[in-house]
Amino acid sequence: MLVLMSISSDSEIARANRRMSLPDLVKDLLLAVGENPSREGLLRTPQRVAKSLQELTSGYAIDVDKLINDALFEVSYSEMVLVRDIDFYSLCEHHMLPFFGKCHVAYIPDGKVIGLSKLPRLVDAFSRRLQVQERLTSQIAEIILKKIKPLGVAVVMEARHLCMEMRGAQSKNSPTVTSAMVGVFRSDARTREEFLGFINGTKR
Ligand code: ZN
């Protein structure tokens, strides 16, 4: 162990000890891409980038359990609850570039529902982190499953990924679609069809 530690260079140890602040890191980043952080337009950029990064990753600090626990209600309603077209904005964890689009969430209650306004906040809490779309989709389905214990949950997300579009790997007209279907949405084709009909706009 001691031997391994001793091979770290002095500068590496100094760097680790310094615990750089986010604005300092952004300043280094500007230098690394060949910019001059001292020119007028960039003077306040490190602070701005740091602030916006903190906002875009603020989901880590949200207590999702608490968010949901405060908004659970007992009901005898057992028809599909659907919130369509929830806007979401996230950052892909591979490039830290935005991916964003629409999220559709549905569930069939079994004695419990969650306040409707909480669903977009739930989507937000998981989106404002470094994510991959597949995991984001299943995290939303899983927390609803865990908290409401419904007969089924369905989550569909359609997104544009700037890491693919800006770098030319994907055309702008083909959004990435991911889905998580649990319970009756998986086992019952008619329920699934009804949900897909709603989100595709064939039923309103
Ligand atoms: Zn990416």
Q: Please state, in angstroms and rounded to a whole number, the distance separating the CA atoms of residues 184 and 116.
A: 21
Identified catalytic residue from 104, 131, 158, 161? 161
Ordered structural domains, the chain, with CATH? 2-56 (1.10.286), 64-199 (3.30.1130.10)
Nearest CA-CA partner of 183 in 122, 143, 141 = 141
Nearest CA-CA partner of 78 in 107, 49, 117, 116 = 107
pLDDT tens for the chain, residues 1 to 204: 444 444 456 666 565 555 679 999 999 999 999 999 999 999 999 999 999 999 999 999 999 999 998 899 998 988 999 999 999 999 999 999 999 999 999 999 999 999 999 999 999 999 999 999 999 999 999 999 999 999 999 999 999 999 999 887 766 678 999 999 999 999 999 999 999 999 997 654
Q: What is the 3-state secondary structure of 81-94?
A: EEEEEEEEEEEECC
pTM value is 0.86
Identified catalytic residue from 12, 47, 94, 134? 94
Looking at residue 42, the DSSP 8-state letter turns out to be G
SS3 199: helix
Task: List the beta strands (DSSP E) in the chain.
Answer: 72-74, 81-92, 98-108, 112-114, 130-131, 152-161, 176-183
Catalytic-residue membership of 161: yes
Residue tagged 């310094």 (tokens)? 18
Catalytic-residue membership of 103: no
State in Å: Cα 66 to ligand 1 middle. 30
Give the model's pLDDT for residue 15: 55
Nearest CA-CA partner of 127 in 115, 116, 140, 118 = 140
